[in-house]
Amino acid sequence: MTASASDKLLDWYDKHARELPWRNPPGEPVPNDPAWPYRVWLSEVMLQQTTVAAVKPYFAKFTRVWPSVFDLAVASDDDVMAAWAGLGYYSRARNLVKCAREVARRGGFPQTEAELRELPGLGAYTAAAIAAIAFGERAVVVDANVERVVARLFAIEEPLPGARKAIRQHADEITPKRRAGDFAQAMMDLGSQVCTTKAPRCLLCPLSEECEGRKAGEPERLPIKPQKKAKPERRGTAFWIERDAQVWLVTRPGTGMLGGMRALPDDGWSAREDGSGEAPIAGEAEQLGAVRHTFTHAHLTLSVMGIKATTAPPGDGEWWPTGEIEEAGLPTLFVKAARLALASN
């Protein structure tokens, strides 16, 4: 591997960097703006296991409603969870609020990778990315895209997850001291646009001459991943309890599946395989249909039962106008269920 690999990649990035709302132009110094670390942090949290296209409107909304980490720190949990609805992986939203409050307590973001790791919800990747992109510190930033680039560049044959130690070591070897943030983002862009999972565009790659995987003739084979296990099937029931053009919504427990989100009452499907359970209120229930949803760990078929109520169910909850259900901030699963129920009326 030549010592010029990082220079070649940075030259490529100067010409081909994606223009993103949370990015600084290539080659520009880190902005002297208190909001800059906030924007970098927010984007990195949102981008975990989520596409750039999906994140853009959420990033725009969050930075409009809460333009600084101090604004987010004083926001209510319900408002943040509602604004996050549809983006998925809701533990990120809960950790977002916790982290914002800790940053506000400290008076701002710490600037070193080690101190950033102390913040709630920040793992190794996110802390390194913020240190490099927001503060210009040299940090070894390894996400799935970087992992793929490095595994091919050095022809790392050990299967994942065991290969991650070697991948990190090699990523460290080519990470320069200068332009740390640009280099991290260049590696991400290379992995997402050129060194793709399938059909990598090797002829366009600035590192093609150095790439051991390409020399071996099978770059697409790397990194070697373990065989995926089949996702289990789950079944459950949600209840559309309606009274006077209003539907009864509950707030799910703060931890666990879709924690802290508004939702339709259900039968506890996240904890059982058969979806057995009782309705939260007595009354004649009508089968409205079923919706299908896929989580990272399981497929779910959720039956939707309609109940006409005269009183509120026991326990905490709220009546929500059915005509404004899209503004309730329901997670995608329950948006599907609500749309099915409304279409059945």
Residues with active-site annotation: 44
DSSP state of 266: B
What is the identity of the amino acid at 24?
N
Radius of gyration of the chain (CA): 23
How far is residue 125's CA from residue 195's CA, in Å, rounded to a whole number?
A: 20
Two tokens, residue 127: 């802390």
How far is residue 206's CA from residue 126's CA, in Å, rounded to a whole number?
A: 26
The CA–CA distances, whole Å, from 267 to 29, 66, 94, 99, 239 equal: 54, 35, 23, 32, 8
HSE toward the beta carbon, residue 268, CA cutoff 13 A: 7
How far is residue 260's CA from residue 254's CA, in Å, rounded to a whole number?
A: 4
258 near 90, Cβ under 8 Å?
A: yes
How far is residue 333's CA from residue 266's CA, in Å, rounded to a whole number?
A: 12
Task: Pick the closest to residue 119 from 106, 133, 135 (CA basis).
Answer: 106
List the alpha helices (DSSP H) in 154-229: 164-174, 180-193, 212-215
Task: Pick the closest to residue 132 from 13, 40, 21 (CA basis).
Answer: 40
